[in-house]
Structure formats: structure tokens, C-alpha cells
Structure 1
Amino acid sequence: MIRMSGKFRSSLIIGGQGIRARKLRTVLSMMSLFLGVLAVIAVQAGGQVAEKAMLADIELQQGIDGTETLSLPSHEKTSSVVRETLGGQPGVSVYGGAKATLGEPNVTPLNPGGNSLTGRYGSYSGGSGRYTTVCDASGMCTSKPVEEKQPPKGAAVEVRVTSMLGDLRQFRPFRLVSGEWLDFGSAPSMSPQIVLNTGAAEALKKHQIPAELHIEGAAKNATPRVVGVVDDGQGDYSATAYMRADELQNWMPAEAKKPASGPAASPMAAMYGNSSSGSLTTAYFTPGPTTEILKQTLRARLAAAGADVDGMRSTTVNSKGRMASMLSIMKMIFLGMACLVLLIGVAGILNVGLATVGERVEEFALRRAVGTSRMLLTFIVLAETLLTGLLTAMAAIGAGVLGFQVATVMFSSKLPAIADMSFPWDAGVAGVIAGLAAGLLGGLIPAMRAARIPISTVMRA
């Protein structure tokens, strides 16, 4: 067991007695230091909250840091090869896209293009008409309206369907708002399960939409089962539905057709095709020893099937690394401001310490006369200021924890990422260090002055 030496123990005891004997001055010192320590705690905690909040929406749309993504080529056998190679593999998820209309058949949906129904993003939906993408020989694509007579508007919502082979939430952790997520363990059903994002769910809440799902390219309409609602980071910008790929394929042609060749098709479209065709376009992998083997096997089988594998690109999600420099600059700026506030507290401790030493000149001289060393006198004064800094840090941490809980309750609806976040105790450690550092800086000069008091002072007293 490690014990403090007699000198250190004596200095702490005498320092504690000095704090108890001068309660008002201790409280004044703590008040001047409190805001500085609280500012340091707020900067540290705020930096972690900001990092998590910024990463949350990025993770919902791009994936968790470290996730490996692989772009898949457009080919008539791509989806079948992917299902045979990656189906049932742990740590793998593949997704694609399709267009669908939920509600009355043969009508113009309330949100052509699958965009927002709130009006906030209404200018992107193309009004009541349909738009198509036209690309020139250089690969430049533009959106143009389709010149055709549109059916009347009806009780229908256009959704952008994301079909999945394997659970996508292991890479993009969508927040479950209500209901449940898709069940990938059961057999595929002819009545497909769908999970809506908040934008699509809001549309169904405001309008009476029949339970009929028309998937673009399908000959018949399906009767879906809406099993849940998730926050996928898109907010009200897009109406999106999530489905199992095997249940989607029950209602789709077996494979997507290749894009038309010629000047109207861009090089990118020729390689990857239309993301709304229902075919699988992107694969997510958890890093591990089998990942490269799966990638090589998939590449070889696609090449054998005749797909152009030269355009298959593998990337690793590194959102935190890209944001690290920006977050560091922000934290350094606010930490500098917090240190300025902390220096005000240091000045307050220094002021009170010098006044206290001036009042205790006879006491310190008498201690010197009975054999107290200059070093021990220095420790006695420093012990008082360090204990004051530590008490202030404890009070500031308590205020920080309470403030964090209040802020979580107030802002959790606007920032769901912090709803389940607990107080970052790294910020508490930073507060303790700041309090002790302020006590040391504020007490160093008074301690040195106390150590230089001559023994002869006691004779004049």
C-alpha cells in the first residue's frame, strides 16, 4: 500500500483546516474559478457530442467507419451471381434500388420522383409531370420533362425502394422510430414486408393511402405489409421504402436490362446501369480475413458470367478521418476561449492567496521559528489552492452532468443521435485537470511568498 509522506499529509491537513477557517474566501475563489472549469468541461463534452451528431447522419447514409464498399457492374447475371456468392455470408450486405408507387394504381402520385411531400423540397420533384435523365456523348446528364399526358393525381405516394440481400443496418444503423425492422431469417413472402423512412411515413399519416404496391417493371401489384418506420438520415427530403431483395424479386423481372448504347447513354450508366431497376448495385463488407476472399471470388464469378469487372471499385468508409481536422480546429478555438475564462479564475485565486498570506505572516513566521521548513510552508499554501481547485472541479462536473441531462431531454427530438448518449467522463477528467492546474498556477506565487517570510517577523509580532 502506498502512503503519503508525513510532510505531504501534514500540508493537506493544515491546508484543509485553512479552507475551513476561511470559508467565505474559499467560496469567492471557487466562484471565480467555477465558470472557467465549467467552460473546459463544456468544450470537451460539446466536442464529443458534435462529433457523434455529425457522424450519425453520415453513418446512416454512407456506413460505419471501416466498412468496405464494392460497386457492382450492370449485367443480366449480376444479381444471381451475387446471391449465390454472398447470400447467407456473415458480415455482408448488398443493396440495390427500384422505383415503386404505394397506393392507387394508374394515377399521378402526390410526390412525383419520390421526393418530399412537405413542400420544403417540392421544387425538386418536377411538379406534376414525370422527368427523365438524358446524357450526351461526353457523359453530361440533364433532367428533362417527359412530353406525355399525365393521369390525374390520386391517393398514391412514389417511393424509392432499397432492396437488401442481408441486413443493411449492420453497416448503416438506421434508428428504429416505430414497429420493427425486416426479418431476414424467414422465408420470402409474396406479401412483402416494407419499412418506411420518416418521409414516407409522414405521407401515409397525412393521406389515406391504399395498401397496394406497384413496382416499376412488375406485371402485377403486390399487397405490402408495413412493419416499421426508421430514421435513415434523409428526413423529409425523400420518401424511401426498404425491402428484402428476395421478396422484391418475386414481383420483378429476373434481371435488369442493360442500358441502351449510343450517345444517349453515359459511360457511367453503361457500366452501372439504372439504380432504380431493382438489380443489386453495391456490396458492404465487414473488414476481416474472409473479406478479400469473398471479393476475389465474386469478381472471378462475375467475369466468368461476362460482366465488365474492371469498373468494380472497392473503398473504405473513413468519415471520422475526413472530419478529424475540422473538429480539431473547432475544439482548439473553443478550448482557447475556455482557457481565457479559466485564467480569470486563476487571477481570482492569486488575489485571494496573496491577501491570505499577508494576513498570516505571523503564523508562517512562527512555524518557521519552530522548525517548519520553507518547502513545507510552500506545500501548505499550495494544498489550500489545490483543494480549492479540486472542490471547484467537482462542483463544475456536477453542474455539467445536470446540464447534459437537461440538454439531452430538450434536444433529443431534433438530434436523435444524442438521445441515448451519456455524459462523456473524459470531459470530467479534463475538468479535474483544469481545476488542479488553476489551483497550482494561482497558488504558486503566494506559496513562494510565504516560504520567504523571515523568522524575525515573529519577533516584531
Structure 2
Amino acid sequence: MLRSVIAGIVLAFAGSRANVSRTILSCAGIVVGVGALITVVTAGDVGERFATSYTEANFGVAATMQVDVTAEVADVEALETDLQRAGGQAVSLAAYPSGTVLVRSGGQVIPDVETTVVDAALGDIRRLNMREGRWFTEADTESLAPVLVVNEVLADQIGDSADLQIGGSEWRDVRVVGVVEGTALDSGWSSAYLLRSPASVDIAYPGAEPDGQGIQLSYAVRVDPGDADEEAVHSRLASAAWRWGVDDPENAITVFRIDGAEEIEQLLFYLSLALLGIAGITLATGLLGVLNVGLVTVRERRRELATYRALGASRLTLFVAVVTESVVVSMVAGAVALASCYGLATAADALAADFLPPDVAVYVPFQAVLVGLGSAAGVGLLAGVIPAWRALSASVVAGLRE
């Protein structure tokens, strides 16, 4: 049996070399179909990584919630402890200052700077792509001067000036430790993140107690994706609200999910199904083309195949020869399609580099290679079985008479 299989493979390669035009014709449809399939898988991979990067940078990693407390909080420390007990794996203040905060550089006030008071833990909740410098660390809370991270727009307005101040009625020198890339939250606007610390409390919340007592607060909270139930988190917080001095927790506490991971995942799922459907139709068209060429080839080669049979070739040898030739043709087409897709992906990455996040590149993923070559082999196998069966059912005598 092994001898018959090896002989069939040898005959298949000989037939492919002897019929170059037919081989190229068979390849054409498979190249298009496999190329479309690889492109779909590649586009889906790039889309998924882009969507993940976009949502994590703009709203938060998977299962990020915003918790607003609209009533006065008597004990902020107790509130933040209960946010962790309610399932928060990372908790950061993410609130606007209660007073007017201005930024000036070199004595010149920069207009319309949007300032958000945050904690260092926001770096574990949102994807913060730093263009320069770094994000806040816990050590920055000990700084004697307020600490800022600014976005690209504000950094360009500041320029190289080291004389940067923040305040309103009084001005304080500040330290800028990093520049973060702009997001949809501040696109086109100057924005700054002000680290919550003893040095910044009198700027962000003028007239408030040092611990923040009496301030209406908003938090970004990252929870376990398997426990991302807004009602459950709200219920846990409401049951503990008495500890921080909130009398009407049902109306004073608002919890809602802001990361959008579920919506993006669902959108990508339906988009992938649609693209896979289109690629499947294209691949099926290529399969029919190979099948048609295979049937015509078997008819044209009846005398050749009959001669092999007359010379002692077994039925298994001829079956393997016809099927293997079809698989070889399809694999060659798959390799051509894969090489073309690699070239297109390289060109697309160069063209789209300025429009994609720095951590998102266009390339053909390994799963696309497996899907492409696997589908090419499968198409070749399916398209070779019927012609092979027709070849075996033909009469040897009739074939020799042609």
C-alpha cells in the first residue's frame, strides 16, 4: 500500500509539471479564495487589537465602571475601602475639580485646559500611551508641588518652558512628569491629569478639608470581568453607604459600565461572520473551478491513465495520483496567496502607521497562515476526490482505444 501511495505522489508531481497551463488555471481561483480568507482573518485580528487598544485608552480595560456619589461623603477613605470590597481590583478618583483651575506657562494663561483629578491607580485602569516621560507613581503623592501629566496638545502649547504654574486666585509651581497621547476624551483639547495629593488638594478642592470631606466624587473602578454586574456593585455599595455618611444611597450612588468591551466584541463577532461568509463563497467558487478543471483533465487523460493501469499501476496508485495533484495545485495556490497577503500587509502597515495606535501593527497572524494553508489543502482534497473516482471507474480498454 505504501508503495502505491508513493508511486501516486510521484505521478501527481509529474502530471503537474507536464501540464503547467492547466496547473496555473487551477491555481487562479484558489489564490483569490485563500487570499480573501487570509485577508479576513488578518483584518479581524487587526480590528480586534485596534478596538481593544481604542476602548482601553479612551474608557478603560475590560470591566471598568464609573461610580458617582452625588451626596456629600463624610469619610472618603471608608468609601474607597468599600469600592475595593465591592469588587474593585483597581480604584482611582476621576473627578473634575470643584474650583476653577487655570494653567499658565511663562506667565501666559493657557485657555480651556480641562483638568481631571486622578490617582496613580488610573494607570491600571486605562491604557495610557505615554509619548514622553511616565505616568504617576505612589511616590509622587509625597511631592511638595502638584504633579501633572499633560496630553500632547497641552504639551505643544507649553513648549520648552520650565515656568509652569497652576491655580486660580493663587498660583503654584507644578511638576510635569509625562506627556500622554490624546484620546477621544480630549481630542483636540488641552487636558491635564492632576495627581490627588496633599500638595494639590487646595487647588482641586478649595475650601475642602485635607481628606476631601464634603466633596462630590467620581471614581473609575476596574472589576473582574466575570463579576461585571453593575446592579451587584451598586447593591454592595448601597449596603455600606452608612459608613461614609450617605443617607440615601439608592439615589446618591450611580454605577455604570464605561469600557464598551462587550459592545466591541459583539460588533467584531458579527463583522467577522459577514467577512467569513464572503470569503467562504469566494473559496467555494475556487473549489468549483478546481473541480471543473480536474474533471476535464481526467477526461483528457483517460488514455494516459489507462496506460498506467495496463502497465500494472494499481487503482490506489491512480487515486492517490489524481487527488495529490489536486492538493499540490491548491497548496501552491495557497502559498502564492499567503505571500501576496504578506506583501499587502507590509504595505498596509506602512500606510496606516500614522493612523493606528503605536501598539497596533498590521501583519498576517499565525492563525491566518494556518487557516489559509489548511483551507487550501482541504479544497484540493475535496476537489480531487470526484475526478479521482471518475478516473477509476473508466474502462481501461476504452481508454486505450482513444
Larger CA deviation: 441-450 vs 75-84: 75-84
Q: Show the 5 A alignment for 1:254-293.
A: 280-287=217-224
* Partner SS, residue 227 of structure 1: strand
Equivalent residue, structure 1, for 2:352: 411
Equivalent residue, structure 2, for 1:181: 135
Q: Show the 5 A alignment for 1:384-403.
A: 384-403=325-344
Q: Deviations over 1:355-414 (max 9, x none)?
A: 432332122113333554545433321111112212222222222223223222221211
1:248 matched to 2:246? The reply is: no
Equivalent residue, structure 2, for 1:449: 390
Residues 343 and 424 of structure 1, relative CA distance in 2, 3 Å threshold: same
Give, as a single letter, the amino acid of the residue that structure 1 aligns with 2:374.
I
Give the Cα separation in 1 of the matches to 2:65 and 2:5.
56
Give, as a single letter, the amino acid of the residue that structure 1 aligns with 2:102.
T
Q: Deviations over 1:32-90 (max 9, x none)?
A: 32122111111111122223323332222321113355433431435343467679x99
Give the Cα separation in 2 of the matches to 1:289 and 1:51.
20
Q: Show the 5 A alignment for 1:355-394.
A: 355-370=296-311, 372-394=313-335
**In angstroms, what is the RMSD of aligned CA positions?**
3.8
C-alpha contact 1:79 1:255 (8 A) present in aligned 2: no
* Partner SS, residue 456 of structure 1: helix
1:167 matched to 2:110? The reply is: no
Give the deviation of 1:289 after TM superposition: 11
Equivalent residue, structure 1, for 2:190: 239
1:14 matched to 2:11? The reply is: yes
C-alpha contact 1:70 1:283 (8 A) present in aligned 2: yes
Give, as a single letter, the amino acid of the residue that structure 1 aligns with 2:164.
A
Give, as a single letter, the amino acid of the residue that structure 2 aligns with 1:75.
E
Equivalent residue, structure 1, for 2:367: 426
Residues 336 and 84 of structure 1, relative CA distance in 2, 3 Å threshold: closer
Give the Cα separation in 2 of the matches to 1:396 and 1:278.
62
Structure 1 moving runs of 4+ over 6 Å: 84-87, 288-298
Give the deviation of 1:160 after TM superposition: 2.0
Q: Deviations over 1:117-152 (max 9, x none)?
A: xxxxxxxxxxxxxxxxxxxxxxxxxxxxxxxxxxxx
Residues 161 and 82 of structure 1, relative CA distance in 2, 3 Å threshold: farther
Larger CA deviation: 30-39 vs 74-83: 74-83
Residues 445 and 159 of structure 1, relative CA distance in 2, 3 Å threshold: same
Residues 182 and 296 of structure 1, relative CA distance in 2, 3 Å threshold: same
2:144 alignment partner, one of 190, 193, 204:
190
Equivalent residue, structure 1, for 2:175: 225
Give, as a single letter, the amino acid of the residue that structure 2 aligns with 1:362.
R
Residues 367 and 288 of structure 1, relative CA distance in 2, 3 Å threshold: closer
Give the deviation of 1:345 after TM superposition: 2.9
Q: Show the 5 A alignment for 1:27-42.
A: 27-42=24-39
1:213 alignment partner, one of 166, 178, 185:
166
Give the deviation of 1:284 after TM superposition: 1.0
Give the deviation of 1:312 after TM superposition: 2.9
Residues 63 and 253 of structure 1, relative CA distance in 2, 3 Å threshold: closer
C-alpha contact 1:40 1:338 (8 A) present in aligned 2: yes
Give the Cα separation in 2 of the matches to 1:163 and 1:9.
73
Equivalent residue, structure 1, for 2:92: 94
C-alpha contact 1:104 1:155 (8 A) present in aligned 2: yes
C-alpha contact 2:319 2:388 (8 A) present in aligned 1: yes
Q: Show the 5 A alignment for 1:46-65.
A: 46-65=43-62
Give the Cα separation in 2 of the matches to 1:278 and 1:204.
30
Equivalent residue, structure 2, for 1:79: 76
Give the deviation of 1:103 after TM superposition: 1.0
Equivalent residue, structure 2, for 1:127: none
Give the Cα separation in 1 of the matches to 2:105 and 2:144.
19
Give the Cα separation in 2 of the matches to 1:185 and 1:16.
69
Q: Deviations over 1:317-364 (max 9, x none)?
A: 663332344333333333333334334433442343234323321221
Residues 76 and 396 of structure 1, relative CA distance in 2, 3 Å threshold: same
* Partner SS, residue 14 of structure 2: helix
Give the deviation of 1:297 after TM superposition: 8.7
Equivalent residue, structure 1, for 2:245: 306
More helix by share: 2
Equivalent residue, structure 1, for 2:63: 66
Give, as a single letter, the amino acid of the residue that structure 1 aligns with 2:398.
T
C-alpha contact 1:163 1:248 (8 A) present in aligned 2: no
Give, as a single letter, the amino acid of the residue that structure 2 aligns with 1:251.
I
Give the deviation of 1:198 after TM superposition: 2.7
Fraction of identical pairs, as percent? 23
Give the Cα separation in 1 of the matches to 2:233 and 2:380.
59
